[in-house]
Structure 1
Amino acid sequence: MNDQEYAYCPVCGTALTGTYVMGKSYRHCPEGHYTFYPGQSVGAVALLAEQGNILLERRAIEPGYGMWALPGGMAERGESMEQCMMREVFEETGLLVEPVRLLDALGGKHVCTVFYEARLVGGQLVKSDESMELRWFAPEEIPLEQIAFPRHKDMLLRWLGLSDKGGE
């Protein structure tokens, strides 16, 4: 289904409207339930820890507006998952990272998210249009009840040693 054919939110049935994210046009639920990313159903996310702290971003876009998430996003056509993770982290944070190891791939209804442990190799921390705030959290400070996506929360719980299995 292309962008023009997708007219209604699959969550609430509200007519989708246009929205811009990082200069690209997408169909979006005005109630905040869903943004349609055509042709994209796989994303990559970085678990970036430095000196025992983990980097999270407070989202400035839907889904999850105002909540915290690990940096990452949707793969573009022809892009490897590693390339996707590195590009998304740079676009959202200004940081250059490289994958250390694949942690897991967790599927859901609309998206499969590939999680990587990543290592900082350069750049400068700068928030993007997608982020209200970027912050390094000590393990005991991670706002687990304010994490935007269940799979991100599952991965953070595993990183904290509070869970050993993935979720949806």
Structure 2
Amino acid sequence: MITVAGDYCPLCGSELDRVVVEGRERRRCPGCDRVVWQNSKPVASVVVRDDEEVLLGRREVDPNRGLWGVPGGNLEHDEHPAAGVARELREETGVRVDPSDLRLFDVDHTTTEHRSVVGIRYVVDRAVTAGEPTGRDETSAARFAPPEWFRERGGISPWDRDLLAAVFDG
């Protein structure tokens, strides 16, 4: 299983060919005789809300370097999404939350030319978090402010614009 299209078997290194399995063309290793499944990558993010303010971090990594974004990221293979997003929140902003306090808000699917992503979106009230936000790891700054403040000071990541609109308008 891989998240991007590959040309070689991740197990033995043989060049992959193509076969039809379950009605779809798939990559197959002629050396191992295994189908190399291509799967969506799971990511999780959390909107930490304080009335009409939200916690965003200024991204210091691609994609969307320099824009403000909701804390979140890749899940580890053995990690529940709520635990993973609590870890990402702490790593990116220094803010801590108990995963059991997170409320599932939405699950979405995005496909680009090279990969697809399943986004697991949570929401939590600032009152149940601990710590003051600060830029860390993949962010240069982190703060609470109304969404308009972030739009006026560099912009919001395209991945997060619709999410914030749904949280604040829905």
The two structures have a TM-score, normalised by structure 1, of 0.66
Give the direction of change, closer, same or farther, for the CA distance of 1:40–1:90 in structure 2 (3 Å limit): farther
1:1-168 paired onto structure 2 within 5 Å: 41-98=41-98, 99-109=101-111, 110-119=116-125, 120-143=128-151, 146-150=155-159, 152-161=160-169
For residues 121-168 of structure 1, what are the alpha-carbon distances to aligned partners after superposition, in whole Å with 9 as ceiling and x for unaligned?
A: 313323112002112112442418822233x1111111231xx5xxxx
CA distance in 2, matches of 1:129, 1:6: 30
Ranges of 4+ aligned residues in structure 1 off by more than 6 Å:
none
In 1, are the aligned partners of 2:45 and 2:70 still within 8 Å (CA)? yes
CA distance in 2, matches of 1:45, 1:71: 6
The number of residues matched between the two structures is: 129
* Structure 1 residues not aligned, in runs of 5+: 8-38
Give the direction of change, closer, same or farther, for the CA distance of 1:157–1:55 in structure 2 (3 Å limit): same
CA distance in 2, matches of 1:160, 1:124: 22
CA distance in 1, matches of 2:90, 2:6: 30
How far did residue 84 of structure 1 move?
0.8
How far did residue 74 of structure 1 move?
0.7
* Structure 2 residues not aligned, in runs of 5+: 8-38
Give the direction of change, closer, same or farther, for the CA distance of 1:2–1:157 in structure 2 (3 Å limit): closer
- Higher relative contact order (Cα pairs below 8 Å, separated by 6+ residues): 2
Please identify the structure whose Cα radius of gyration is greater. Answer: 2
Aligned alpha-carbon RMSD (Å): 2.6
Percent of aligned positions that are identical: 27
CA distance in 2, matches of 1:59, 1:116: 19
The two structures have a TM-score, normalised by structure 2, of 0.66
Between Structure 1 and Structure 2, which shows a larger proportion of helix residues? 2
**Where does residue 12 of structure 2 map in the other structure?**
none
SS for the counterpart of 1:65 is coil
